[in-house]
Amino acid sequence: MQQFPNAPARIAAVATANPPTVINQQLAAGLIEKHYGKTLTPRSLEIMRKVMSHPSIRTRHIAVDGITDVLRLKDEDPDARMERFTRWAKDLSSDAARKAMKRAGVSAREITGLVVNTCTGYICPGIATYLIEPLGLSPDVKLYDLVGAGCGGALPGLQIAQGHCESDGGVALAIAVEICSATYQMGDDMSLIISNAIFGDGAAAVVVSNRHGGPAMAAGASRFVPAHRDDVRYVYRRGQLHNMLSTAVPKIVGELTPPFLTAFLGAHGLTVADISRWAIHAGGEKILAAVQEGLGLTDAHLAVARRVLERYGNMSSPTVLFELEQILEKGIGPGQHCCVVGFGAGLSFYALLLAG
């Protein structure tokens, strides 16, 4: 195979996948009220109704075989939950990867590196090893499994894929997959009430190559703010993951994102006004509104993020790649820039600058 070391890596293709079961917010609210109406406090029920009636999210995809299976999540034991996570993480990752490779015109044997990111389940060996056979990858492929990066995890995955391509001159697949329903819990806890109202399941795959066309991965950056670690994270309780999501997150993200991005763009001779396309993690409408105000962006800049949020909810790490897929459908023209922004557990902030 001809090698292209040190050539800039490019986003050759992006593709996404979701489980077929779709639940609308009205139905989801009704199910919660029916099955938890006697155990949740009136205040919790009121907040649940308010969040789930907001038009920013209308539908979500859930990794179960049918709507009736949604009811069984509350009684799902840890072993069955991990089996469900493994099955759907493998299937959705494979589906997204096949579509991405087809769009890029890349064969399985051309893939020399595979990066898989998740935060909603843990298996050993990692998900990446489960994709070798269904995708027909070489047994010599380099595998990288990332666990625990949270909603921003797609971007460090892309950074690893970029490094692989630019150092080895190969073609890499970067996959972000989350089965958020595999962390389902319910109780009189604001984090759980909000989580159950906004999170969905999905996967996205990106073909990264320095031998194919597509927008160049011009620069990347990350920043961590450990002082806010407890505002966004998973914790283990009785051996199962529970989401912790502070109501202060929109304010925190709205305040910390602008200086991070201003410094990042400035280091490359750019300003916020120079960016024509934005893929900002759609963690929720309050988060998008806070970032929009802090950066001075227009509704048009956030249109793709809001469209993804409305149809899929917050899928954690794949969400921003769902946005990037739609942005690339229209293209990034010569001289134009797209800024991909993720944030999540840590508290972590990530940015990727793409150049047309």
CATH code, domain carrying 287: 3.40.47.10
pLDDT range class, residue 3, cuts 50, 70, 90: very low
**Is 29 among the domain residues?**
no
Global confidence as pTM: 0.95
Closest to 175 (Cα-Cα) out of 196, 200, 193, 156: 156
Mean pLDDT computed over 126-135: 98
Pairing mode of beta strands 111-118, 59-61: unpaired
User: Does residue 1 register a pLDDT over 60?
Assistant: no
CA distances from 82 to 63, 86, 106, 278 (A): 12, 6, 32, 35
Q: Could you report the per-residue pLDDT of 204-251, keeping only the tens digit for each?
A: 999 999 888 899 999 999 999 999 999 998 888 877 888 888 889 999
Distance CA 306, CA 288 (A): 8
Phi, psi (5° rounding) for residue 202? Answer: 180, 175
- Dihedral (C-alpha) 145, 97, 24, 293: value to the nearest 10 degrees? 70
User: Does residue 4 register a pLDDT over 50?
Assistant: no
**pLDDT the model gives residue 80:** 93
Q: Could you report the per-residue pLDDT of 181-196, keeping only the tens digit for each?
A: 999 988 898 889 999 9
Pairing mode of beta strands 171-179, 216-224: unpaired
**Is 11 among the domain residues?**
no
**Is 116 among the domain residues?**
no
Domain of 275, in residue numbers? 216-355
Distance CA 163, CA 7 (A): 11
Q: Could you report the per-residue pLDDT of 283-342, keeping only the tens digit for each?
A: 999 999 999 999 999 999 999 999 999 999 999 999 999 999 999 999 999 999 999 999
**Is 269 among the domain residues?**
yes
**Is 221 among the domain residues?**
yes
**Is 185 among the domain residues?**
no
Average pLDDT, the chain: 94
Long-range CB contacts for residues 308-311, cutoff 8 Å, separation at least 24: 308/282, 309/56, 309/57, 309/282, 309/284, 309/285, 310/55, 310/56, 310/57, 310/58, 310/59, 311/58, 311/59
Residue of 153 and 70 predicted with greater confidence: 153
Percent residues over pLDDT 70 in the chain: 98
Q: What is the CA radius of gyration of the chain?
A: 20
**Is 93 among the domain residues?**
no
**DSSP for 221-278?**
EEEE-GGGGGGEEEEEETTEEEEEE-TTHHHHHHHHHHHHHHHHHHTTT--GGG--EE
**At a CB cut-off of 8 Å and minimum separation 6, what does 259 contact?**
none
**pLDDT the model gives residue 6:** 61
pLDDT range class, residue 69, cuts 50, 70, 90: confident
Closest to 205 (Cα-Cα) out of 352, 321, 105, 341: 321
Total domains in the fold of the chain: 1
Q: Which of 79-88, 244-253, 267-276, 295-304 has the lowest mean pLDDT?
A: 244-253
Residue of 35 and 95 predicted with greater confidence: 95
**Is 329 among the domain residues?**
yes
Distance CA 190, CA 231 (A): 12
